C-alpha cells in the first residue's frame, strides 16, 4: 500500500533531519482538564492529543458489569480538523480497532480488581495528526490514568518503528508513513520489558522486525522517563 517516488533518507538523515533512532520532540502536560478525573496533553512532533479519564464509576447498563473487577473502556477519536481531509465525526473501523488495541495495551497494568462493578473510561481525542496518533494516545492515556489515581502496576509507553528507503527507523512521521515500506506500533511496560500492544503492516524481514522491536523498546524506555518526570512535576507542584 506504500507509494513510491519520494526519497526519505538523504546523507544518512531523514527528511526532518532526525537520525534513524531519534524520536520526535515530546511534550507532556498533566492535569490539563478540570472536569475529568485525570488528564494529559501529549505532543509527539506534530501530533497533539489529549486524554481524559473518568472513573471508577458505576457501570451502565448493569448487566455489563463485571462482579469481580472494573471494566476498562477506551475511546480513540479524531477531531474532524485533525487531518488534511476533514474526518467525518463518529467512529469508523480504524478508530474501533485502535480503541480495542489501545485498551489491551493498558489493561495489563491496571489493577481492576480494586473496583468491581465499575467502569473506568479513557477518552483520547486526536487534535492534530501526523502519524503516530495511536501511540501518542496510549502514552497520554497512561499518564491520565495515573493522574486520575487509578491503581496501576506501572506506566505503559508506546511508539512506532517502521521501514523507509530500506532502513529500520524510529517513530515515522506522516510523510514517512505514507511513502515508507512498513509501520509497526508497539506498547510496552517499559520497566518489565513486556509488550502489551503490537501491530504491523507493510513488509519486513524477520531481521528487520527484530531490529525494529529493539529500537522501539529502547524508545519506550525514554518515553517512560518523560512520562514519569511529567507526573512527578505535577505532584510536586501540588
Partner 1 sequence: MGLEIMDDVRRDYIYNLVKRGKREDGRDFRDYREIKVEKDIIKRAEGSARVKIGNTEVLVGVKLEPGEPFPDSPDEGVIITNAELVPLASPEFEPGPPNEDSVQLARVVDRGIRGSEAIDLSKLCIEEGEKVWIVFIDIHVLDNDGNLVDAAALGAIAALLNIHIPAERYGLSSSEGEDTNTLPIRDKPVAVTMVDVGGEILVDPNYNEEKAAVSGLTVITNTDGTISGMQKYGREGLAEDKISEMVEIGIEKADELRRRFL
The binding track of 30-69 with respect to partner 1, each residue x by CB under 8 A or -, is ---xxxx--x------x-x-xxx-x--x---------xx-
**Length of the chain in terms of residues written:** 238
**Phi–psi pair at 196, nearest 5 degrees:** -110, -10
When the beta carbons of 205 and 229 are compared against partner 1, the nearer one is 205
CA 116 centroid distance within chain: 26
How near is the Cβ of 39 to partner 1 at its closest, in Å?
A: 8
How near is the Cβ of 108 to partner 1 at its closest, in Å?
A: 5
Q: Which stretch binds partner 1 (CB under 8 A): 6-14, 15-23, 74-82, 218-226?
A: 74-82
CA distances from 128 to 53, 97, 160, 162, 230 (A): 20, 19, 17, 21, 21
Q: Could you say whether residue 125 binds partner 1 (CB under 8 A)?
A: yes
Contact between 139 and 157 under an 8 Å Cβ cutoff? The reply is yes
Strand order in the sheet with 118-128: 26-30, 38-44, 47-58, 118-128, 71-78
C-alpha cell at 213: 522491536
Interface contacts to partner 1, rule CB under 8 A = 1, 3, 33-36, 39, 46, 48, 50-52, 54, 57, 67-68, 75, 77, 79-86, 89-91, 93-94, 96-97, 99-101, 104, 107-108, 121, 123-125, 127-129, 182, 184, 188-189, 192-206, 209-210, 213, 217
Amino acid at each position: 500500500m506504500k507509494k513510491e517516488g519520494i526519497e526519505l533518507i538523504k546523507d544518512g538523515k531523514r527528511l526532518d533531519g532526525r537520525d534513524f533512532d531519534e524520536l520526535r520532540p515530546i511534550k507532556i502536560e498533566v492535569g490539563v482538564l478540570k472536569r475529568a478525573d485525570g488528564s494529559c496533553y501529549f505532543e509527539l512532533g506534530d501530533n497533539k492529543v489529549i486524554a481524559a479519564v473518568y472513573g471508577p464509576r458505576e457501570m451502565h447498563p448493569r448487566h455489563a458489569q463485571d462482579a469481580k473487577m472494573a471494566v476498562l473502556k477506551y475511546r480513540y477519536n479524531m477531531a474532524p480538523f485533525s487531518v488534511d481531509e476533514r474526518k467525518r465525526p463518529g467512529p469508523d473501523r480504524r478508530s474501533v480497532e485502535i480503541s480495542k488495541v489501545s485498551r489491551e495495551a493498558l489493561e495489563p497494568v491496571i489493577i481492576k480488581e480494586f473496583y468491581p462493578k465499575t467502569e473506568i473510561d479513557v477518552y483520547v481525542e486526536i487534535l492534530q495528526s501526523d502519524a503516530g496518533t495511536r501511540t501518542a494516545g496510549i502514552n497520554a492515556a497512561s499518564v491520565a490514568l495515573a493522574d486520575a489515581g487509578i491503581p496501576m502496576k506501572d506506566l505503559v509507553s508506546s511508539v512506532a518503528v517502521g521501514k523507509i528507503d530500506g532502513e529500520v527507523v524510529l517513530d515515522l512521521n506522516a510523510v514517512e508513513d505514507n511513502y515508507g515500506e512498513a509501520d509497526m506500533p508497539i506498547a510496552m511496560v517499559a520497566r518489565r520489558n513486556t509488550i502489551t500492544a503490537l501491530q504491523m503492516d507493510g513488509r519486513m524481514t524477520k531481521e528487520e522486525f527484530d531490529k525494529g522491536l529493539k529500537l522501539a523498546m529502547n524508545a519506550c524506555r525514554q518515553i517512560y522517563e518523560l512520562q514519569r518526570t511529567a507526573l512527578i512535576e505535577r505532584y510536586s507542584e501540588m
